[in-house]
Amino acid sequence: MRVKRNFEWGKGKYYFTIKSFPTNITIYRKTKEAAQLAFMRYQQVGKDVEWHGKWNGKEFTETSLAEFSLTA
């Protein structure tokens, strides 16, 4: 059975998901820096998070975690 999302993916926004039981929480940020910072902070407190990247309208781009660097 397909999961219905109650939102539309926004072009140019960065997405990541916090995996939790029974539901997953998908979060977006408008800038890459804000998304990376939020992602890293959720990781630091022990949450299971999955990085999706930037939505371009058809697929996710910038999906690599290798370029993450915490400067704040």
Contact predicate 38/29, CB 8 Å? yes
Cα–Cα distance for residue pair 12/49, rounded to 1 Å: 20
Q: Is-cis flag, bond preceding 22, omega within 30?
A: yes
Which tens digit of pLDDT belongs to each residue from 14-56?
A: 999 999 988 899 999 999 999 999 999 999 999 999 999 999 9
Residue labelled with tokens 């690599």: 64
Entry pTM: 0.82
Which is more confidently placed, 37 or 6? 37
Cα–Cα distance for residue pair 15/32, rounded to 1 Å: 9
Residue type at 50? E
